[in-house]
A and B are shown apart, each in its own frame.
Chain A
Amino acid sequence: MRIDQFVSNFSFGDAVSNNVRYIKKELNKRGIKSDIFTQYRDQYSEKECKIYTEFSDKNAVIIMHSSTYSDIHNFLEKLNNKKILFYHNITPSKFFIGFNDFFVTHLEKARNQLKNLYKIYDFAVSVSEFNIQELKEIGFKKVFKVPLFIDFNKLKYTNFDNEILNKYNTNEDKLFFLGRFAPNKKQDDIIKTFYIYNKYFNQNSRLILAGDYKGQENYYSKILSLIKHLSLENFVDIYGKISNETMCSLYKKSNLFFSMSEHEGFFVPVMEAYFFNIPVFAYDFGAVKETMNNGGILFNNKDFIVLSEEIFKILNDKIYLKEILNKQKSSLSKFVSECNDFKLYQIILENI
């Protein structure tokens, strides 16, 4: 049996591509031939994949990873193979209005395309109940949940970035958020909350924001402008796309992972923060709550003062913090054990 994977963009370092790589590895382990077909790839990934138009096996089972608009759906529609949709959530276009018109149209197109996918694919899988619900609403009758693959070994066995470790070897309260600079990630709300926290609760604090801004230069520029407007240049550190070493070092040195993101299909950083044993304080939307799985602290109301009070409590009440970290540890181990059985394969076997 062959199970081939399709993905619109295949590159080095992004969560969807890593998931694709993981699935291929696990399939190969079980003696199943599997190739990766893509439409756009970067220079680092050229050897690992082929262009989708080269695909020709009539009997292969196809998994298509979808997180954006893709011509590949149209290509697959014409094939008679058994097809599975692996849905990685499409950000709603409304966030980008006023920031990036191209993206708004692009995401609308993606959503429109999504509406018809239930006709093309035999069933769908995804990594969170939140995503599953979306799939059901657009017409999929058969949907399954599979755990998202996260390579914890990369976190465990990495070398640290000594410059970062030294730089943040301070007694400052360090708040950290890792995520692309994009309007749905709401780095602007994070900065606003931090302004209140820094000015009224603890001046000895620092905000670290790391993430790629490519494609969202407009939003990124507004973020820089906001920092300047609030005179927070000396308290906010910005990093662009960072290496694994830098990322792990930042997690290690931070005191709190703080998110105000308004749309997440899974939210990998929660698991990474759990792994590095820092408390997670996140806005309850999308899949955030289910990923956090009882660990960390969720909030529903973006009241900057109330949030700052809670952050202050988390960072100063040792007993409270210990409770949070313990719950996080158990959520993490639950996730890791789920992660380890390759559920997707079973689902495929049972449903094809």
Chain B
Amino acid sequence: MNKEISVVEIMKEIENNAKKERMLNDSQRLNNLDIKSLKDIEFPELNNQDFLISSKLRLRKVENKGIFTRPINYLLRKFYFALRYLLDSLIVSQEKFNIFANNFILENEKKEIDFDYFDFSSEFRTNASNNLDLYLPFFKDSKNALDLGFGNGEFLQFLKKHNIQGQGVDSNKDFVEKMKGLDFDVYEADLIKFLEDNNDIYDGVFCAQVAEHLDNFNLLKLVSLVFKSLKENSYFIMETINVKSLSVFTNSVYKDLTHIRPIHPDLLRYIFKKAGFKDVSLIFSSEFKNEEKLKKVEEKSDNDKVLNSNLDILNEIIFAPQDYAVVGKK
């Protein structure tokens, strides 16, 4: 059957399609419309509310009726609004200045010295951690670990060896370049700033031979920032030189220009606890070999026994392990 075509029906279909296209076009146009680009509507009406410049200072508008009331109220409103705007802008400027001044002061507190740490560390023994295996249990389940101040990268290499994903941060450009060249995920940044600006959550943080380079303010800040950036039930390990071993005072403590002061293990443990860490424990490492310590004598007499026990005490004080690490769990 040859159905007669009706132009009226065809136009209905065309009108429908046109409507859809029009609607899509409108929708796109609205999507691209940023209301900030629109012109302001004339000074919005402020109704009958009292106008507050600040909630401490409340100015009432004139209530009495009279031929001057309306113009006076109008002028008052304009005045209040202008004044408030002025004060608000002053406050904003003040805030901005405060922030600027703060930053300026912080920047200038940190005085730069011309000390090539990279060169220095290659000259001297850099207290490389041979003790990394001790720390493995705390990182074995990590999927996203962080090495703060990775230096020569021993810990990062260690993580890689055990197939653990990790990032590294160091403020020394040369260390960063070296590790970047070896294809590690590393960043050049001030450690504190990195933790402040970064929103990542890590499930294991390692920080070795850094604490003695931080002043008190920054040390406390670092520990607390690390706490925030940790996932629950993961660990933060901070390794540093052990002041309870006198040997370090003849060796590491004063050999590095950038050392500020060493930290006593009890103190660092306390800092960890105060920052919120649980199960805070100590691990000692970098022990002296027996041949390096004071040698005991053959015990032939009572004097020998006394001598040997004194030697034990001396060995404990002088040749205690050179490093310790505080382990804290979030």
Tell me the A residues contacting B by CB distance below 8 Å. 9, 40-43, 98-99, 101-102, 105, 109, 138-139, 141, 188, 192, 195-196, 199-200, 213-214, 217-218, 220-226, 228-229, 240-241, 303-305
Minimal beta-carbon separation of A210 from chain B (angstroms): 14
Can you spell out 30 A-B residue pairs with CB atoms less than 8 angstroms apart? Answer: A41-B55, A43-B58, A99-B36, A102-B88, A102-B92, A105-B92, A139-B227, A139-B276, A188-B35, A192-B31, A192-B33, A196-B27, A199-B23, A200-B19, A200-B22, A200-B23, A200-B26, A213-B44, A214-B49, A217-B44, A221-B41, A221-B44, A222-B36, A223-B35, A225-B41, A228-B41, A303-B27, A304-B27, A305-B24, A305-B27
- A9 and B55: CB pair below 8 A? yes
Asked if B23 and A305 make an inter-chain contact with CB atoms under 8 angstroms apart, the answer reads yes
Which B residues touch A240, using CB under 8 A? Answer: 47
Residue B38, interface by CB 8 Å: yes
Across-interface contacts of B56 in A (CB, < 8 A): 40
The listed residue with most A CB atoms (<10 A of its CB), out of B49, B56, B92, is B92
- Chain B nearest CB from A154 CB (Å) reads 22
> Hey, which chain B residues are within 8 Å of A220, CB to CB?
44
Tell me if B91 is interfacial: C-beta within 8 Å of chain A: yes
CA distance A218 to B89 in the complex (A): 14
**In the complex the two chains form, is A141's CB within 8 Å of B91's CB?**
no
Q: How far is the CA of A18 from the CA of B133 in the complex (A)?
A: 58
Which residues does chain B contribute within 8 Å of A241, judged by CB atoms? 49
Q: Say how far B304's CB is from chain A's closest CB, in angstroms.
A: 56
Q: What residues on A are CB-neighbors of B10 within 8 Å? A: none
Kindly report which residue of chain A lies nearest to residue B81, judged by CB atoms. A217
- CB pair B92–A225 under 8 Å, yes or no, is no
Q: How far is the CB of A180 from chain B (nearest CB, A)?
A: 14
Measured CA separation A223–B228 after assembly (Å): 40
A196 in contact with B49 given A222-B38, A224-B44, A225-B35 (CB within 8 Å): no
A43 → chain B closest CB, angstroms: 8
Q: Given the complex, which residues of A lie within 8 Å of B88, measured CB to CB?
A: 102
Q: CB < 8 Å: which of A42, A109, A217, A226 contacts B38? A: A226
**Measured between alpha carbons, how far is A78 from B139 in the docked complex, in Å?**
39
B residues in contact (CB < 8 Å) with A = 19, 22-24, 26-27, 30-31, 33, 35-36, 38-41, 44, 47, 49, 55-56, 58, 88-89, 91-92, 95-96, 227-228, 276
CA distance A79 to B47 in the complex (A): 43
**Is the beta-carbon distance between A304 and B41 smaller than 8 angstroms?**
no
Among B24, B27, B40, B49, point to the contact of A222 (Cβ < 8 A). B40
- B27: A residues at CB distance < 8 A: 196, 303-305
B47–A221 touching, CB < 8 Å: no
Q: Which 3 A-B pairs have the closest CB atoms?
A: A40-B55, A225-B38, A224-B41
Closest to B54 in A: A40
Bound complex: CA A109 to CA B96 (Å): 11
Cα distance A213–B45 in the bound complex, in angstroms:
11
- Whether B92 pairs with A141 at a CB distance below 8 angstroms is no
Q: How far is the CB of B128 from chain A (nearest CB, A)?
A: 34
Question: Chain B residue with minimal CB distance to A240?
Answer: B47
Q: Is the CB of A138 within 8 A of B228?
A: yes
A305 contacts which chain B residues (CB < 8 A)? 23-24, 27
Please, which residues of chain A bring their CB within 8 A of the CB of B24?
305
- Residue in B closest to A228 when the chains form the complex, CB atoms: B41
Residue of A102, A139, A196, A224 contacting most chain B CB atoms (<10 Å):
A102
Given contacts A138-B228, A222-B36, whether A195 and B95 have CB atoms under 8 Å apart is no
A9 contact set on B, CB distance < 8 A = 55
- Per the bound structure, the CA–CA distance linking A218 and B36 in Å amounts to 9
- Nearest-neighbour CB distance to chain A for B108, whole angstroms, equals 22
Measured between C-beta atoms, what is the minimum distance from B229 to chain A in Å? Answer: 10
Q: Which of A192, A196, A224 contacts B23 (CB 8 A)?
A: A196
Who on chain B is nearest to A39 by CB?
B55
CA of A195 to CA of B256, assembled, Å: 70
Of all chain B residues, which has the CB nearest A141? Answer: B276
CB distance from A246 to the nearest CB of B (A): 14
Point out the residues of chain B lying under 8 angstroms from A226, CB to CB: 33, 35, 38
Residue in chain A with minimal CB distance to B40: A221
Would you call A98 and B55 a contact (CB within 8 A)?
no
Cα distance A43–B26 in the bound complex, in angstroms: 47
Residues of B near A102 (CB, < 8 A) are 88-89, 91-92
CB <8 Å contact, B41 and A199: no
Q: Are B26 and A196 in contact (CB under 8 A)?
A: yes
Please indicate the chain A residues that have their CB under 8 angstroms from the CB of B30 in the complex. 192, 195-196, 304
Verify B55–A225 contact, CB threshold 8 A: no
- Shortest Cβ gap from A67 to chain B (Å): 15
B residues less than 8 Å from A141 (CB atoms): 276
Write out the residue numbers on chain B whose beta carbons fall within 8 Å of the beta carbon of A196: 23, 26-27, 30
CA distance A225 to B49 in the complex (A): 23
Whole-angstrom CA separation of A250 from B27 in the bound complex:
28
CA of A196 to CA of B25, assembled, Å = 11
| Residue contact B35 to A222, C-beta cutoff 8 Å | yes
B24, closest chain A residue (CB): A305
Supplied contacts A98-B36, A188-B35, A199-B23, 17 more A-B pairs, CB within 8 Å = A40-B55, A99-B36, A109-B95, A139-B276, A141-B276, A195-B26, A195-B30, A200-B23, A200-B26, A213-B44, A221-B44, A222-B36, A223-B35, A225-B38, A225-B39, A226-B33, A228-B41
* Interface pair A105/B96, CB less than 8 Å apart: yes
State the Cβ distance, A190 to closest chain B Cβ, in Å: 12
Compute how far the CA of A304 lies from the CA of B89 in the bound complex, rounded to whole angstroms: 37
Kindly list chain A residues whose C-beta atoms are within 8 Å of the C-beta of B41.
Answer: 221, 224-225, 228
Chain A proximity of B86: nearest CB distance (Å): 12
